[in-house]
């Protein structure tokens, strides 16, 4: 009488030919299964014992670059990269994102270093018109988001090099103005709209700079400015024989008008300088210049 029956399966090992394996990374699967079948007169228990089955799973697959050659009109063959490597082409997505990241990083590094050195050597007034230019170039080439990233990266670099005060002053006096100018030019706004909005942003930054300085030195600089304007106007009126004492509201209006005029002239000069500079760089197609400037540039 057969009490036990052994059923075996042959040893199987599959290795795909298209996959490269490392012998140290084999995974061993040992399967031992007991199978009970209904009892019969000749067999009481059936034991099914399977031999170990080793299944090797692929770790990596090596693909070679696939090139196809296409003959040009002059009989020369030019390689065409397969679809798997299209992102590495100059017009690919990965290449363009990498180029944008590198350009924004370099612009931020150059601007931060130039601003740091100009502050250290007290020559900021000579280079102040160039601090917003990298943000404008990044906005025109890669979009508004790239200009904003350049501004933030420059501010973070100045935060590390000079502290939070210098970083905040850069944002108020140059960063926000450059971002506004680059965004408006990227959107194709008219020069009149661009000058007005940039003047407002520049004026707000100037007032913020004065307030920040007042907080740092514990002195109200705005009050000192308005008091001096009031005293000067009173002396002028008294010297001319006009018996009028200007009110503080008039003083505030005069002060705001002077700030707007100062910022307006500065922004207009920035428009002229950046237009000429970007035109010489070959970016004239990205600019919407007025007709008189286009005729002057030829």
CB contact at 8 A, 59 and 25:
yes
List the domain boundaries for the chain: 91-297
CA distance 29 to 59: 16
Q: What's this model's pTM, rounded to 2 decimal places?
A: 0.68
CA distance 110 to 113: 5
Per mean pLDDT, which of 6-15, 33-42, 142-151 is the most reliable?
A: 142-151
- Strand ranges for the chain from DSSP E: 4-7, 13-14, 45-48, 54-55, 67-71, 77-81
Structure tokens at 286: 């990205």
**pLDDT at 3 (0 to 100):** 47
Residue 93: pLDDT band with limits 50, 70, 90: confident
CB contact at 8 A, 27 and 13:
no
Q: DSSP string of 121-166?
A: TT-HHHHGGGTTHHHHHHHHHH-HHHHHHHHHHHHHHHHHHT-HHH
CA distance 153 to 162: 14
Kindly tell me if the per-residue pLDDT of 131 is higher than 60.
yes
Question: Quick one: which of 201, 153, 159 has its CA closest to 177?
Answer: 201
**pLDDT at 247 (0 to 100):** 86
Identify the weakest region by mean pLDDT among 83-97, 151-165, 167-181, 237-251: 83-97
Structure tokens at 267: 């922004």
pLDDT tens digit string along 186-242?
A: 998 889 999 999 999 999 999 999 999 999 998 899 889 889 988 988 898 888 888
Which residues make Cβ contacts (< 8 Å) with residue 25, sequence separation at least 6? 59
Identify the weakest region by mean pLDDT among 51-55, 101-105, 209-213, 283-287: 51-55
Residue 77: HSE in the Cβ half-sphere, 13 Å Cα cutoff: 6
Q: Residues of the chain with pLDDT > 70: what percent? A: 70
Residue labelled with tokens 């700079």: 209
């Amino acid at each position: 009488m057969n009490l036990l029956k052994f059923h075996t399966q042959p040893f199987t090992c599959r290795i795909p030919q298209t996959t490269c394996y490392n012998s140290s990374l084999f995974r061993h699967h040992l399967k031992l299964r007991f199978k009970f079948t209904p009892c019969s007169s000749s067999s009481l228990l059936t034991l099914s014992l399977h031999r170990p089955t080793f299944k090797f799973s692929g770790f990596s697959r090596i693909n070679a670059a696939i090139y196809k050659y296409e003959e040009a009109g002059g009989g020369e063959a030019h390689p065409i990269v397969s679809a798997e490597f299209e992102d590495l082409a100059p017009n690919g997505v990965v290449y363009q994102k990498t180029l944008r990241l590198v350009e924004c990083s370099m612009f931020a590094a150059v601007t931060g270093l130039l601003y740091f050195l100009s502050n250290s050597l007290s020559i900021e007034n000579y280079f102040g018109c160039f601090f917003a230019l990298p943000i404008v170039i990044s906005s025109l080439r890669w979009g508004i988001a790239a200009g904003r990233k350049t501004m933030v990266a420059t501010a973070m670099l100045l935060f590390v090099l000079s502290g939070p005060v210098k970083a905040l002053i850069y944002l108020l006096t140059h960063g926000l103005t450059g971002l506004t100018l680059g965004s408006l030019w990227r959107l194709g706004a008219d020069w009149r709209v661009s000058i007005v909005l940039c003047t407002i942003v520049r004026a707000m930054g100037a007032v913020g700079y004065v307030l920040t300085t007042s907080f740092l030195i514990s002195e109200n600089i705005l009050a000192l400015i308005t008091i001096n304007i009031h005293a000067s106007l009173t002396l002028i009126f008294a010297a001319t024989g006009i018996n009028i004492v200007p009110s503080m509201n008039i003083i505030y209006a005069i002060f705001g008008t002077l700030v707007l005029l100062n910022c307006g002239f500065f922004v207009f000069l920035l428009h002229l300088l950046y237009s000429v500079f970007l035109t010489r760089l070959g970016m004239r197609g990205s600019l919407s210049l007025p007709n008189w400037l286009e005729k002057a540039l030829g």
